[in-house]
Amino acid sequence: MTSKQSPPLRLTIWRQYGREMSVGVFLLLLLGYFGSTPGFLRAENLRDILINAAPLVIAACGMTMVIVAGMIDISAGSALAVCAVVAGITAKAGAPLPLMLLLPMLTGAAIGAVNGWLVAWLRVPAIIVTLGMMSVLRGGIIWWTRGEWIGNLPPSFSAIGRGEVVGVPTPVVIALGVVLFVALLLARTPFGRHIYAVGGNPVAAARMGISVRRVLWLVFMLHGMLLGLSAVVYASRFSVIQSNAGIGFELLAISAVVVGGVNIFGGQGTVWGSALGALLLQVIGTGLIFRRVSEYWAPSVQGALVLLAVVTDALRTRRAGQ
Amino acid sequence: MRTAAICVIIVVAMLSLFTACSRKQAGPSAAKNVEKKLVVAVMPKLKGIDYFNAVERGAKEAAQELGNVELTYDGPIEGKVDLQIPFIESWTLQKVDVIAVACNDPDAIAPALKRAREKGVRVITYDADANAEKSGREFFVNQATFEDIGRALVDEMAAQAGEDAKVAIVSSSPTAPNQNAWIAVMKRYMAERYPKMQIVTIQYPEEDQGRAFSMTQDILKTYPDVKGIFGISSVAFPGAADAVRQAGKSGKIAVVGLSTPKSMREFVKDGTVKTVILWNPVDLGYLTVYVAKAVLDGTLQRGATEFEAGRLGKVKVQGDQVLLGAPMKFTAENIDQYDF
């Protein structure tokens, strides 16, 4: 406010975080709309919404980096299943807590490393690489587990998904931590700025001396690691782990990111928007049940929202260009 | 251009890796015609899941009992009809005696079965039927009619939650044919038998445990007077039971449904679920091989009303369907005896 520069602070904030703020406003409007149904705004329900959204928020953070870098990952749902099974097996083997977190994250990072390597060094389009990876992992997990679910999980594992840290559910704490971490990474580090540069214009980025390959590879690995963490939070919530979990999860994560204002062609967007986008999708899912809307409509409504978000984004960028 | 070529190479490599994996599993049972033994080829919807592993066990048991039957058990690792067809084609070429298929799609598989019939291979179906007319299959071994399952579910709910209970259904996908057929029977039977029972909502979590879980949470909060939840798929049932348990409502809200006993064991043990309803897939595999043999022998023909199947005794035959019998109930007392 004290600054003498020409655009006042209010306008700068709006210009920088316009999309995030409009998603936030939209979220509040929805909460108001669904809030008129009995029980929706009760603390217990809001708490459940936050817990259930946590794995999606975490995955959306990783997906944000991937999309900002101009890439895409549609193997995320299959990777989630693989990491969840790894988490379950590790937990059942009696591993200590750090290992239960670490092994799935390493698994995710390994999957990301393969995806990233194929994309960065062999220059195969990300959509093709991850499409192949999606089937490889999905088939592999069925072959490996023989379709069996993993039950009898130890309490130390379930404590991750159902525990609390000073009154706040652990999944929510983890999700918040991840959002903060990725936000700082993207906004405050040279690596973060390189991601935007690579996503915005890879040729220019390379001329600036950025190693595009290395950035892409690291982005996929980090994203894989976060997927592993997301899988732990997801799986530890349940008494049995479905070996075939997360079908369609990748689309939810991509939707969350796009609804949150990240440019699908890369170079623009923040992790705050994606986190809000993930919350928005969860609120809609729960809200439609409370509103007693036919479940047949839920997927259409979610799809319509994504379209709405993309269209407004396109209009905004067009206006900005003029 | 170069990129495109590399893409193609990678996709091909991945696919071949895939088929390599599935080939490896084909194992030693690939049909070899040992003198005069009848070769029965049984195909699951997909290999490698508990349910069809149990079917395979029953089929092997019957083949051993019958003595002169050589069993080939193989199929795709994903439940897709286009992956089933190559198996049928190669079995037709190998001139097996009978093919028994659990079909992933009733119509898409029909032409392949028809060609097998024309080459002199006898064809039956089990678990999931093919289009009878277009495929020319002779019998369908039906594990349980929709009617039987629907009624058993509703009766069980009435016994546990009361005849005037408000109930919710957690299903599979809105287009899943089995689930929709069961729901139709359940609605009709409820209206006839328990007119005061009321379905407050039906939710469709697809095949996603997480959604089945959160949808059940939302049902419990939106309809506080709900007394029972039906979980009518192998994903919905554990998901719903988990939500009821974690809400601290085990024993207060009845959870009734269909799934394999193995996946429900812990919920049955802690009292969240009293009864799991399903047929016995081991018996289904067993009966299928018996029917295959009888079709070949001519001991089972259209018009029969009964059929003698080894340890199962006499089972009913209705038209072109052989019925396994009433659905089975798994409870805390007997659930440990079954490992599928």
Specify the pLDDT at position A205.
95
DSSP string, A126-176: HHHHHHHHHHHHHHHHHHHHTT--B----HHHHHHHH-EETTEEHHHHHHH
Which residues from B are below 8 Å from A143, CB to CB? Answer: 21, 25, 48, 77
Structural domains of chain B, ranges and CATH numbers in brackets? 25-143+281-324 (3.40.50.2300), 146-278 (3.40.50.2300)
Identify the bridge partners of residue B199 per DSSP, sorted by sequence position.
B167
End-to-end alpha carbon distance in chain A: 29
Which residues from B are below 8 Å from A158, CB to CB? Answer: none
B 177-206 residues with CB < 8 A to A: 201-204, 206
In the block, residue with structure tokens 């690489």: A129
B 214-253 residues with CB < 8 A to A: 214-215, 217-219, 221-222, 224, 235, 238-239, 242, 245-246
Confidence bin at B28 (pLDDT 50/70/90): very low
Q: Which of A37, A132, A286 sits opposite B10 (nearest CB)?
A: A132
Cα separation, A231 vs A102, in Å, equals 12
A:B CB pairs within 8 Å = 127
Question: Could you tell me which chain A residue has the CA closest to the CA of B221?
Answer: A39
The strand ranges marked E within chain A are 164-165, 168-169
Complex prediction ipTM: 0.86
A279 pLDDT above the threshold of 60: yes
A3 pLDDT above the threshold of 60: no
Between A270 and B106, whose confidence is greater? A270
Per-residue pLDDT of B5-18, as tens digits, reads: 555 565 555 555 55
Say if residues B244 and B320 touch (Cβ distance below 8 Å).
no
Residue B122: both structure tokens together = 């006898």
Decide if B23 touches A, using CB distance below 8 A. no
Q: What number of CA atoms fall less than 13 Å from residue B176's CA on the CB side?
A: 19
Specify the pLDDT at position B25.
44
Structural domains of chain A, ranges and CATH numbers in brackets? 20-27+37-321 (1.10.3470)
The residue-averaged pLDDT of B126-144 equals: 90
Specify the pLDDT at position A291.
86
Specify the pLDDT at position B16.
55
B 83-122 residues with CB < 8 A to A: none
| Strand-strand pairing, A164-165 and A168-169 | antiparallel
Exposure string (b/e) for B168-194, b if CB count within 10 Å is 16 or more?
Answer: bbbbbeeebeebbebbebbeebbeeeb
